[in-house]
Amino acid sequence: MNVLVVDKDQLATRILTRKLENWGYVAFTAANAYEAERIIERESIRMVVTEIDLPGRSGTELVQLVRGLERPRYTYLIILTGNTETTELLDALESGADDLLRKPLNVFEMRIRIKAAKRMLNMEDELREGAGTDGTTGLVNRNSFRQFFRVIVAENGRTKATGALMYIHVANYTTVRKAHGYKAAEFMMRAVSIALGEIVRTADLAARLSDESFGLCLQNTDWPTCRIVGKKAIAKAESASLVFEGIDLRPKLLVETVNFPSEGLNSDDIMETAPRFAFDGGDAVSPNTPEAAPPPSNPAPDPDPAGIAESPSPEAAPTEAPVGDLNSDMADVLRRAGIDVDSYGRLSAFEQQQVLKLAEQLAGASPE
């Protein structure tokens, strides 16, 4: 959770920041309300701890400013003050502050107050998830999408129908947010969601899975069809002319896909850990890096665990060893299609079959 500390006293800021980081928070700092406003516009700040006596605009004015901003989630505001005057304290709370902490700070009390604030923010997140939809795009959220996907995977397992789960990442979301602010980034995400709505079928489902990514559940879809849908999504979203308050915005998309049902994997496994294939609108399709792919469920035993056996002489080695169950022609098709052969070997039998079909189309060849 991101916490912003606003205080003109650099020593006090360093001490407070160190404590927050030790407690597991990500700390940002600002010396005045103007710096704080810029950080809040560009970062996902969930909690602000501000001194009431700041140069220029006061901490109370900063609180009022934050309350007037359009924010995706609630921001918890804590005022720090050494003043004991009741009127000033009441004014701070009236401005929209959630809590007050008196200086000099008691570390134990501060930690308790911060933990209480975090509990409240977590409850707000749970309530938002329970609402089922994303406020900006109107699409279902991750929690609702997960429940829908469980039903689809179970049904496809019974009927043996194939489908595809497509992740669409807006790669420049964070860059736009840091450069132009939250409203600009959300304007871009809404435009992308509209583009996705124009390419999905009635039986499919689109969702916003995180700040910068969407998900599509495509039913009765094989690898070639999935690739066509992905390229349409990229072309439609990236060609849109988006202007926000005079700023030209160009979303940059990266698409990852995984087909289902997948042998031995349930719906949660497919969403979180199954190997994905990524593309950016070109013809090349490549699996994720080996580190991102799960290890084989039944690795072959090492025939020589002690490393005693002699290596075969170069003359005895075959010129091109088969990879897994692939013969050399099939492996060549994968390589010409830009698909890593080692990563192919980590896929399930069903996924290998789908990838090989796609590789044949991309490479313009058919294995014997």
CA–CA separation, 109 vs 144, rounded Å? 38
pLDDT tens sequence across 254-307: 999 888 877 677 888 888 888 888 876 554 444 433 333 333 333 344 444 333
The CA-atom distances, in angstroms, between 20 and each of 29, 46, 107, 109, 173 are 11, 13, 10, 13, 27
């560009």: which residue's tokens?
42
pLDDT tens sequence across 22-33: 999 999 999 999
Per-residue pLDDT of the chain (368 residues; tens, 9 = 90+): 899 999 998 888 999 999 999 999 999 999 999 999 989 888 889 999 999 889 888 888 999 889 888 776 788 999 988 876 677 777 778 888 888 888 888 888 889 889 988 988 887 777 666 667 888 888 888 888 888 888 888 877 777 778 889 999 999 999 998 889 888 999 999 999 999 988 887 778 899 999 999 999 988 888 788 888 888 889 888 888 799 989 999 999 999 988 887 767 788 888 888 888 887 655 444 443 333 333 333 334 444 433 334 444 444 434 333 344 566 777 776 666 556 666 666 565 655 666 666 666 555 544 33
Burial of 361 (0-12, 13-18, 19+ CB in 10 A): middle
Task: Determine the Cα angle at 96 with ends 93 and 101, to 5°.
Answer: 45
The pTM score is 0.55
CA–CA separation, 139 vs 53, rounded Å? 42
Interstrand relation of 242-244 and 205-210 (parallel, antiparallel or unpaired): unpaired
| CATH code of the domain made up of 2-131 | 3.40.50.2300
Fold of the CATH domain 142-282: Alpha-Beta Plaits (3.30.70)
Q: Residue ranges of the domains in the chain?
A: 2-131, 142-282
